[in-house]
Amino acid sequence: MAKRSTKFVCQECGYETAKWMGKCPGCQNWNTFVEEVQMTGAKSRHAFAGVPKYSSKPEKISAIKSEKEPRVTTTMKEFNRVLGGGIVPGSLVLIGGDPGIGKSTLLLQVSSQLAQKELSVLYISGEESTRQTKLRADRLGIASDNLYVLSETNLLDIANQIEALQPSFVVIDSIQTIYREEVTSAPGSVSQVRECTGELMRIAKTNAIPIFIVGHVTKEGAIAGPRMLEHMVDAVLYFEGERHHTYRILRSVKNRFGSTNEMGIFEMKEEGLREVLNPSEIFLEERSQGAAGSTVVASMEGTRPVLVEIQALISPTSFGNPRRMATGVDNNRIPLLMAVLEKRVGLLLQNQDAYIKVAGGVKLDEPAIDLAIAVSIASSFRNMPTNPEDIFIGEVGLTGEVRRVSRIEQRVREAAKLGFKRVVCPRKNLEGWTIPESIEIIGVDSVQEALAAGLGR
């Protein structure tokens, strides 16, 4: 006989305790514990009763044959890039994003493209009825006999339908609406999300069916549910972008079958999402010519170089403490670079407000953008525009030196392809590669040399 007991589970990190606590010892959040009923002593029931149990034995790593994983590609090159070249059979992929950002639209378009390749696709929606999904499909112009739609939230029924249909591809929208009968807590709780994801992972691995699951996000932008959810899946994708802008960014933060931090750009149209094959042109098309405080940097997003404009506005402060605000870059990086400019270059910035923005809504976090930010700040402070055909690349140290960056060759080639004439980069990066004939490379060792090359002083 199964025994009934209660426990309190933190809805943020999954910490369990026998009694209620106001503050979670695991994640330090307040009022996150919810009482859940636990059944102990009951036999676990698998959705696939006929799946045999395999016993594995240790093997010598030298005797294991390494084979390249076959991938299924879609017609969206950006989607394939983020996944590392395509969809791996048996993989479990988690996609998170703000409500209304376009997660369901993206996966419905991907399902349609796979169905057009004569692959059976099962789209399971726990939030919408089949008629609502059909309305979205009509708006996107999707109609295929290989695309099946199911509105269901019971995991046992979902598993039985997958076993009966044996699809080549499955979409779960969303994991927070799916529940398992053996777990008595409410759908979306830590226990339900953990158990349902574990069962879906078993289905994906034992049947070699790639499964995409949609996850809700919290107010902070992280995927809701326990942190272990991201550890269980093979890949974690974030669908980002402002709801009032048309551009969307699909970013990979975890991928067992490809590189992380890959980025795909999409544009939201009335007929659905359209991929942007050259994002650098999109980010630079509205750049002002001859404006002080504007520079261009070649940033690496995974394996792709992207040219982005960085804008700075320096103005005298009217408060006791000057303001330091940044959009698209780390806020802590701005005071650090301003301190370097003040100490090593001699710019009096302690009584100036600083506002930094990355145009286009992109978020940059690599060290190679330091030099472009520093030049933008100095350009706005001196009210001297930079040359619109210059690009600045480099990491800035606390002593004012410009340090080498990775993949300088790809960055310079992207700049030359878009018509830029000069690249200001670390001098240490000038060795070991061939410089394109259409572009001039200026190597610098310090911020002073970079400002002299970019601002003419």
Q: Is residue 71 part of a domain?
A: no
* Residue 102 annotated in ligand binding: yes
- Residue 174 has what pLDDT? 86
Q: Is residue 69 part of a domain?
A: no
| Domain span including residue 427 | 282-455
Number of domains in the chain: 3
Q: Are residues 273 and 287 in the same domain?
A: no
Residues 344-395: pLDDT tens digits?
Answer: 999 999 999 999 999 877 888 899 999 999 999 999 999 999 999 999 999 9
Q: Is residue 53 part of a domain?
A: no
Residues 401-423: pLDDT tens digits?
Answer: 999 999 999 999 999 988 899 99
* Residue 432 annotated in ligand binding: no
Residues 214-266: pLDDT tens digits?
Answer: 988 766 666 656 566 888 899 999 998 866 678 888 988 899 988 877 888 89
Per-residue pLDDT, averaged over 436-452, amounts to: 93
Four-CA torsion 129, 135, 139, 142, nearest 10 degrees: 70
Per-residue pLDDT, averaged over 154-172, amounts to: 94
What backbone phi and psi angles, to 5 degrees, belong to 246?
-85, -15
Q: Are residues 226 and 305 in the same domain?
A: no
**For residue 333, which amino acid is it?**
R
Distance of CA 20 to the CA centre of its chain: 35
For 100, counting Cβ atoms within 10 Å of its Cβ (0-12 exposed, 13-18 middle, 19+ buried), the class is exposed
Q: Are residues 170 and 220 in the same domain?
A: yes
- Residue 51 has what pLDDT? 45
Q: Are residues 291 and 145 in the same domain?
A: no
* Residue 98 annotated in ligand binding: yes
* Residue 346 annotated in ligand binding: no
* Residue 53 annotated in ligand binding: no
* Residue 104 annotated in ligand binding: yes
Q: Identify whether 294 is preceded by a cis peptide bond (ω within 30 of 0).
A: no
* Residue 103 annotated in ligand binding: yes
Final residue belonging to a domain, choices 223, 258, 277: 277
For residue 247, give both structure tokens: 């551009």
Q: Are residues 84 and 186 in the same domain?
A: yes
CATH number at residue 212: 3.40.50.300
Q: Is residue 336 part of a domain?
A: yes
For residue 131, give both structure tokens: 């008629």
Q: Are residues 104 and 14 in the same domain?
A: no
Least confident of 102-106, 201-205, 220-224: 220-224
Q: Is residue 258 part of a domain?
A: yes
If one counts every other C-beta atom within 10 angstroms of the C-beta of residue 90, the result is 17
Summary mean pLDDT of the chain: 87
Q: Say if residues 376 and 293 touch (Cβ distance below 8 Å).
A: yes
Q: Which of 301, 302, 295, 364 is nearest to 330 (CA)?
A: 364
* Residue 101 annotated in ligand binding: yes
